Amino acid sequence: MYTLKEPLEGRGNQLFIDGVSAKSLAEKFDTPLYVISETGIRRNFQRLQNALKQHYEKVKIFYAAKANSNLAVLKILESEGANIDTVSPGEVLLALTSGFTPDRIIFTGTSVRNDELKFLSDSNVIVNIDSLSQLNRLLKIAVPKILSVRVNPEVGAGHHSHVITAGKHTKFGLWEKDALTAYKVAKQAGVKKFGIHMHIGSGILDVKPFVSALGRFLEIARKIHEQTGVDFEFVDVGGGIGVPYKPEDKEIDLQEYAEKVLSLFKDKTNQYGLGEPYFCVEPGRFIVADASVLLTTVNTVKITPYRKFIGVDAGFNTLVRPAMYGSYHHIIVANKADARVEEKYDVVGPICESGDLLAKDRPLPKIDEGDLLAILNAGAYGFAMSSQYNARPRAAEVLVKKGKHKLVREREQLDDLMSSQQISAEWEQ
Ligand code: LLP
């Protein structure tokens, strides 16, 4: 049987999330409903911070807002002392609104427009440039106080080809030669403080790719330092720490990650004369994934000659990861938390595509209409990637903490589907 981990707990046949019953939340707020545990987020942040700080004092964690940018989530992390990684003016605005000062915000966008560069420059956030074009266009607007360059360490990794962001065929980062040019140009333009950045991919459960990318990354940093005289205030190794989704997945060994990555970091920064820069990481998934579940109600049980379908009210409009990456999300029957597995079902949503599958051939207890399913590890790239496809309003989000609950995003209403549209009956002359 699947062992529930904090903040989840079975009390008899009922699932509780951070001390609150899933059933009571579904009754009060309806489904589909994202339930986010504050305790879970704080625990994840602190675990990572403690593991890293055991090996190096100057550590900064930049939470990758793209994983879950609910203001309540951002505020929790702000109060933990996190910094924040953003990719759009929208995320910068959300970060500022939740109390992050500009010096705690880094922007790592790609394919960035000029008006966005102007917004970033006016906001005084740290810009991490992704192309020479972006640098030249930024310098025409203003010379930033501090600048970082995303380099391609030529080693990528990730749970799916869509999320590998370094290596030969990626659109991200600057290759060594261009990175050298970027620092020279920025220095000549008057930039005084610098950082350097990489991000190799997402959903990585093995420490090896982080270590091999870091080795190459620091060699590039060395060349930049030697050839341009640039010193680095910070070295940002990006995000990517994975979480177990399948029952058989092994958690990444945080102690091993911290020990291997930071001992290489300390050795090489020392050997290459890079001083003592801040060591920065940008986890998204690791901080929020297992702190949240998606609750969805079974409305249809449909048995065909070939398949047993469970029709629920969440589809790939609510959680796209299974459809988009073939991702596995474990499912618990929240009102039969102690029941034995009896059947294999396909769990499907209300979207009119056969790819609208949350789980295939999934062993579950016998399901009845009205049952409440909890889709686990839904906190990262869950709500954040949801849509209104098939004209379905987006789900609500509720925050739970030690037996208490608070609505942190209202469910969209049918009116929201129409609020920004106009019916154009006639063309104006
Ligand atoms: N930093 C940068 C520059 C990134 O592009 C990303 C993620 C992160 C940090 C955070 O990565 P994490 O620690 O969460 O792995 N939608 C996909 C994941 C896309 C990740 C994109 N970049 C999924 O659901 O698996």
Domain boundary pick from 236, 252, 283? 283
Element containing residue 309 per DSSP (H, E): strand 308-312
Residue of 12, 248, 306, 352 marked active site = 352
The tens digit of pLDDT for each residue in 307-359 reads 999 999 999 999 999 999 999 999 999 999 999 999 999 999 999 999 999 99
Whether 46 maps to a domain, the answer reads: no
Most informative mutation of 61, 62, 148, 202 for ligand 1 (most atoms within 8 A of CB) = 202
Length of the chain: 429
In the three-class reduction of DSSP (H, G, I as helix; E, B as strand; rest coil), residue 362 is classed as strand
Whether 101 maps to a domain, the answer reads: no
CATH code for the domain in which residue 390 is found = 2.40.37.10
Tally the domains of the chain.
2
The tens digit of pLDDT for each residue in 3-23 reads 899 999 999 999 999 999 999
Domain boundary pick from 283, 311, 341? 283
In angstroms, the first-to-last Cα distance of the chain is 68
In the three-class reduction of DSSP (H, G, I as helix; E, B as strand; rest coil), residue 52 is classed as helix
Strands 343-348 and 308-312: parallel
The answer on 198 and 246 residing in a single domain is yes
Q: Is the CB of 67 under 6 A from ligand 1?
A: yes
Q: Is the CB of 240 under 6 A from ligand 1?
A: yes
Domain range for 114 is 108-283
352 counts as catalytic: yes
Integer Cα distance of 140 and 117 in angstroms: 10
- How far apart are the CA of 158 and the centre of ligand 1, in A? 9
pLDDT value, residue 53: 98
Domain boundary pick from 229, 259, 283? 283
The tens digit of pLDDT for each residue in 204-254 reads 999 999 999 999 999 999 999 999 999 999 999 999 999 999 999 999 999
Most informative mutation of 66, 159, 236, 321 for ligand 1 (most atoms within 8 A of CB) = 66
Per-residue pLDDT at 429 exceeds 80 = no
Q: Is the CB of 356 under 6 A from ligand 1?
A: no
Per-residue pLDDT at 362 exceeds 90 = yes
- How far apart are the CA of 429 and the centre of ligand 1, in A? 47
* Dihedral sign computed on CA atoms, order 200, 206, 207, 208: negative
Q: Is the CB of 241 under 6 A from ligand 1?
A: yes
- Residue 31 contacts residue 296 (beta carbons within 8 Å): yes
The tens digit of pLDDT for each residue in 141-154 reads 999 999 999 999 99
